[in-house]
């Protein structure tokens, strides 16, 4: 029994290490790593202020060009709320607006910092700042 | 049927607890996005996928949303489903191997004999594990039978009983017919018997599916204590080991015959004298592999939850 658990934890440790690297595990689990991950898009949209589902989807379509399906949108909302990264506000016209929590803001900031690092390196290596490819 | 009803019918894929929390929001979202027009197929598919995933999460089979006991229960049910798949594969496997002891020559007999013996012992152990699990849940089952919620399950139970009875009767007829013909090569088996066997197989699969759905529905309604749930988890892990032994035994038997007696496997397929890997045997192997994967996932989840539960600090009692 202990051996089985040991093997399991070993596999889990290495799989997490391989997948997430030095990023915080929440980032991977919540899908805050890629720019078009629904949780990241939702947190980014809510950073502006509370919105209900349809307003969220419209905002995301405008700033990211991503049209989230109903299943993906509400699946991500449920996960974010479950992990305390967003919270529902009292119902308005049969719709719950959602707002980002302090923990959600911190996660979003962490994800932005990670992405910024990649963007900075890519920008520098392509020489975009010097206007070579601009 | 009005548009509102159509909108809400898309929510049926989600579990009740999810619908209670997000159902109204999602229905209003559909209303806002699609108005009175039809919902595109891609959106419907996304809700089917998302709803099914939420059901698995709520049942503790996927993710970490459910509490520890529900996750152990869900993982144990995964192992139970794996056992169901092995039963299907085992019935077909037994029909292929039933004439093997008679027709097998006495060259290199020890390995397939040992493999088959190990598989048979494992099957007996699996049945014993199931019986112990049944005894463990019996008090909760009796409690459920006496409660009002049992009435809502009656349709499921009736379907399972009817399908099991029909499949059982069909199997008895087919087996009797097969035994009446004796150990003749499959190539000379009447086509009527082959067709009847195929129908019988489908009936058995249907009965197992209906029984599994009913068993899952019943298990989720049982009021099991924390201790009983953990014991069921341990039994499920033992069952996963049993399934592995059955798989190893069956594969060893098959591989030994492929190497030493390929004519026997060839005799399973009409018009082919030598077929070391008949399609039917490969399909059986695949069903077993799927079962093993399910059992492996279930076992890993049980070990994970139990490991976390053990590490969690226990509340201090002040006497």
Q: Is B144 on the interface with A (CB under 8 A)?
A: no
Q: Is the pLDDT at B103 greater than 80, yes or no?
A: no
- C-beta separation of A8 from B304 below 8 A: yes
Instruction: Label residue B26 by pLDDT band (50, 70, 90).
Output: very high
Give the helix ranges, DSSP H, for B147-225. 154-181, 191-221
For the entire predicted model, the pTM comes to 0.69
Angle made by CA atoms B20, B304, B137, in degrees to the nearest 5: 65
Q: Is the pLDDT at B224 greater than 80, yes or no?
A: yes
Q: Is B33 on the interface with A (CB under 8 A)?
A: yes
Q: Give per-residue pLDDT as tens, A13-39.
A: 444 444 344 444 444 546 666 777 899
* Co-location of B44 and B105 in the same domain: no
Q: Is B54 on the interface with A (CB under 8 A)?
A: yes
Q: Do A70 and B47 touch (CB under 8 A)?
A: yes
* Co-location of B19 and B100 in the same domain: no
* Residue of A5, A9, A75 lying closest to B50 (CB–CB): A75
Q: Is B242 among the domain residues?
A: yes
- C-beta separation of B87 from B284 below 8 A: no
* Co-location of B19 and B163 in the same domain: no
How many domains is chain B built from? 2
Residue A112 lies in domain: 32-129
Kindly provide the b/e burial profile for residues B224-249, where b requires at least 16 CB atoms within 10 angstroms of the residue's own CB.
beeebbbbbbebbbbbbbbbbbbbeb
A78 contacts on B by Cβ (under 8 Å):
18, 21-22, 54
| Dihedral sign from CA coordinates of B182, B183, B186, B187 | negative
Q: Do B65 and A82 touch (CB under 8 A)?
A: yes
Percent of chain B past pLDDT 90, that is, above it, reads: 26
Q: Is B26 among the domain residues?
A: yes
How many domains is chain A built from? 1
* Residue of B50, B303, B306 lying closest to A74 (CB–CB): B50
* Co-location of B227 and B254 in the same domain: yes
Rounded to the nearest angstrom, the minimum Cα separation between A127 and chain B is 41
pLDDT reported for residue B136: 92
Instruction: Label residue A10 by pLDDT band (50, 70, 90).
Output: very low
Instruction: Label residue B281 by pLDDT band (50, 70, 90).
Output: confident
* Co-location of B211 and B286 in the same domain: yes
| CATH, residue A42 | 1.10.10.10
Q: Is the pLDDT at A44 greater than 90, yes or no?
A: yes
* Co-location of B45 and B140 in the same domain: no
Q: Is B317 among the domain residues?
A: no
Instruction: Label residue B66 by pLDDT band (50, 70, 90).
Output: confident
* Co-location of B146 and B33 in the same domain: no
Instruction: Label residue B312 by pLDDT band (50, 70, 90).
Output: low
Q: Is A11 among the domain residues?
A: no
* Co-location of B128 and B34 in the same domain: no
Q: Is B56 on the interface with A (CB under 8 A)?
A: no
pLDDT reported for residue A3: 53
ipTM of the shown complex: 0.73
pLDDT reported for residue A22: 40
* Co-location of B87 and B53 in the same domain: no
Q: Is B292 among the domain residues?
A: yes
* Residue of B43, B54, B304 lying closest to A70 (CB–CB): B43
Closest to B232 (Cα-Cα) out of B95, B145, B137, B313: B137
The pLDDT of B43-55, averaged and rounded, is: 91
Q: Is A65 among the domain residues?
A: yes
* Co-location of B158 and B88 in the same domain: yes
The pLDDT of B60-77, averaged and rounded, is: 87
- C-beta separation of B126 from B243 below 8 A: yes
Q: Is A79 among the domain residues?
A: yes
Q: Is B105 among the domain residues?
A: yes
| pLDDT greater at residue B131 or residue B181 | B131
Rounded to the nearest angstrom, the minimum Cα separation between B180 and chain A is 48
Q: Is A96 among the domain residues?
A: yes
Q: Which of A25-34, A75-84, B55-64, B176-185 has the lowest mean pLDDT?
A: A25-34
- What does the mean pLDDT of chain A come to? 79
pLDDT reported for residue B317: 40
B18 class by beta-carbon count within 10 Å (0-12 exposed, 13-18 middle, 19+ buried): buried
For B132, phi then psi, to 5°, come to: -65, -45
- C-beta separation of B83 from B126 below 8 A: yes
Count CB pairs under 8 A between chains A and B: 72
| pLDDT greater at residue B241 or residue A2 | B241
A99: β partners: A87
- C-beta separation of B73 from B133 below 8 A: no
Q: Is A55 among the domain residues?
A: yes
Non-local CB neighbours of A63 within 8 Å, separated by 6+ positions? A44, A45
Q: Is the pLDDT at B198 greater than 80, yes or no?
A: yes
Q: Do A69 and B43 touch (CB under 8 A)?
A: yes
Instruction: Label residue A89 by pLDDT band (50, 70, 90).
Output: very high
Q: Is A124 on the interface with B (CB under 8 A)?
A: no
B47 contacts on A by Cβ (under 8 Å):
69-71
Non-local CB neighbours of B12 within 8 Å, separated by 6+ positions? B51
Q: Is the pLDDT at B249 greater than 50, yes or no?
A: yes
Q: Give per-residue pLDDT as tens, B152-164.
A: 788 888 888 999 9
- What does the mean pLDDT of chain B come to? 81
**CA–CA distance from B281 to each of B82, B83, B101, B224 (Å)?**
18, 18, 18, 39
Q: Is B275 among the domain residues?
A: yes
Residue B100 lies in domain: 71-311
- C-beta separation of B308 from A9 below 8 A: no
Q: Is B299 on the interface with A (CB under 8 A)?
A: yes
Instruction: Label residue B319 by pLDDT band (50, 70, 90).
Output: very low
Q: How many CB atoms lie within 10 A of CB A133?
A: 7
Kindly provide the b/e burial profile for residues B57-76, where b requires at least 16 CB atoms within 10 angstroms of the residue's own CB.
bbbbbbebbbebbbbbbbbb
Non-local CB neighbours of B130 within 8 Å, separated by 6+ positions? B83, B239
């Amino acid at each position: 029994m202990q051996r089985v658990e040991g093997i399991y934890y070993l596999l889990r440790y290495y799989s997490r290490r391989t997948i997430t690297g030095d990023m915080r595990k929440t980032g991977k689990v919540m899908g805050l790593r890629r720019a078009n991950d629904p949780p990241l898009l939702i947190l980014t949209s809510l950073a502006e202020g509370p919105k209900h589902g349809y307003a969220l989807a419209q905002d995301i379509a405008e700033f990211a060009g991503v049209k989230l399906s109903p299943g993906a949108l509400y699946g991500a909302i449920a996960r974010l709320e479950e992990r305390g990264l967003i919270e529902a506000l009292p119902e308005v016209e049969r719709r719950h607006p959602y707002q980002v929590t302090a923990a959600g803001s911190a996660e979003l900031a962490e994800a932005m910092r990670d992405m910024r690092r990649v963007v900075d390196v890519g920008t520098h290596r392509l020489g975009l700042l010097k206007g070579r490819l601009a | 049927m009005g548009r509102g009803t159509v909108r809400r019918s898309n929510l049926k894929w989600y579990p009740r607890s999810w619908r209670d929390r997000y159902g109204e929001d999602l229905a209003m979202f559909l209303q806002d996005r699609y108005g009175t027009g039809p919902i595109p197929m891609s959106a419907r598919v996304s809700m089917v996928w998302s709803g099914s995933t939420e059901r698995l999460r709520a049942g503790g089979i996927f993710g970490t949303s459910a509490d520890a006991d529900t996750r152990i229960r869900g993982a144990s049910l995964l192992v139970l489903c794996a056992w169901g798949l092995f039963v299907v594969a085992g019935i077909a496997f037994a029909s292929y191997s039933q004439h093997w002891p008679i027709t097998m020559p006495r060259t290199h007999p020890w390995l397939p004999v040992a493999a088959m013996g190990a598989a048979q012992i494992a099957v007996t152990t699996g049945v014993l594990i199931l019986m112990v699990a049944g005894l463990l849940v019996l008090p909760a089952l009796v409690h459920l039978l006496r409660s009002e919620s049992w009435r809502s399950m009656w349709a499921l139970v009736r379907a399972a009983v009817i399908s099991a009875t029909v499949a059982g009767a069909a199997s008895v007829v087919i087996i009797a017919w097969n035994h009446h013909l004796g150990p003749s090569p499959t190539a000379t088996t009447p086509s009527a018997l082959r067709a009847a066997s195929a129908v019988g197989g489908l009936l058995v699969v249907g009965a197992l599916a209906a029984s599994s759905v009913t068993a899952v529905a019943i298990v989720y309604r049982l009021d099991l204590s924390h201790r009983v749930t953990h014991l069921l988890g341990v039994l499920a892990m033992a069952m996963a080991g049993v399934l592995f032994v059955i798989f190893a035994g069956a594969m060893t038997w098959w591989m030994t015959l492929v190497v030493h007696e390929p004519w026997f496997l060839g005799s399973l397929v009409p018009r082919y004298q030598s077929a070391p890997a008949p399609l039917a045997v490969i399909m059986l192997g695949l069903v077993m592999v799927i079962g093993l994967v399910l059992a492996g996932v279930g076992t890993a989840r049980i070990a994970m939850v139990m490991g976390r539960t053990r590490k969690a600090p226990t509340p201090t009692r002040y006497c």
